[in-house]
Structure 1
Amino acid sequence: MAVESRFVVIRNGVEVETFMDKKAADEYDKMLDMADNLTEMFAKSSIELSEDMAEELSIYLAQNREDVLIALQAKKAKPTKPATKPTSKTAAKTTKASAEKKLAAVNDESLSEAS
């Protein structure tokens, strides 16, 4: 016989979602709490939104809270990892090699013109 743990998110007596992982269930519950708070905020504002639109917008904002915080400048965006830059030694070698190739090309041209 197998034993399985499940974590159920319940809102207003209704089972909303079931998770196998407690952390995922807690995160989802927290997102729903944020969405509820946003819905209340919209209801108190002068913005005219239907109940469905306010709920949909609230859930969207709660699900994308990191992007919202960045847009509000309340949080800095995570820097993207830049392409690997050559080290100073590698750059110096590359520059020296390029200079030597150019010098060799100039010398070859000079020799061809002299002939």
Structure 2
Amino acid sequence: MAVIPMWKCDRDGSMFSDKKAAEEHDKMLELAANITMLLEQTFDSIDEKIAEDIGLLFAKHKETLAKAIKGKPELILEIGKESADGQSEEANTNE
């Protein structure tokens, strides 16, 4: 019997066969949690779920956001298109 090493992310329970991928996922979730906390501290009436969704969106697209901040603001619109495409695909699979 073969032994396959697996890494489990404490934050969401995701399993990875690659340690580097597990660490990157954990860092992304930590960034999302910190963004969520910032939003909740800054905006008193923000819905917790919306703050979490925004945090995850920003964390998943941190490279694109960094490029947009450095002078390519049109890249932000690409994130919106990707998110809309992902939601429509998800809706189609749920039907």
Q: TM-score, normalised by structure 2?
A: 0.69
Whichever structure has more strand as a proportion of its residues is 1
Cα 1:61–1:47 change in 2 (3 A) is: farther
* Larger relative contact order, structure 1 or 2 (CA cutoff 8 Å, min sep 6): 2
Q: CA RMSD in A?
A: 1.8
Q: Which residue of 1 aligns with 2:89?
A: none
Cα 1:5–1:74 change in 2 (3 A) is: farther
Q: TM-score, normalised by structure 1?
A: 0.57
Question: What amino acid is aligned across from residue 15 of structure 2 in structure 1?
Answer: T
Q: Which residue of 2 aligns with 1:26?
A: 23
The answer on 1:62 being equivalent to 2:62 is: no
Question: What amino acid is aligned across from residue 6 of structure 2 in structure 1?
Answer: R
Question: Highest Rg: 1 or 2?
Answer: 1
Quick one: distance in 2 between partners of 1:38 and 1:2?
41
Quick one: distance in 2 between partners of 1:73 and 1:51?
29
Identity of matched residues, %: 35
Counterpart mapping for 1:32-71 below 5 A? 32-46=29-43, 48-71=45-68
Aligned length: 72
Residues 8-43 of structure 1: CA deviation (Å, up to 9, x unaligned): 0012xxx52000000100000000010011011001
Question: What amino acid is aligned across from residue 70 of structure 1 in structure 2?
Answer: K
Whichever structure has more helix as a proportion of its residues is 2
List structure 1 runs of 4+ shifted beyond 4 angstroms.
none
Residue segments in structure 2 that go unaligned for 5+ positions in a row: 73-95
Quick one: distance in 2 between partners of 1:42 and 1:63?
16
SS across alignment from 1:16: coil
Residue segments in structure 1 that go unaligned for 5+ positions in a row: 76-115
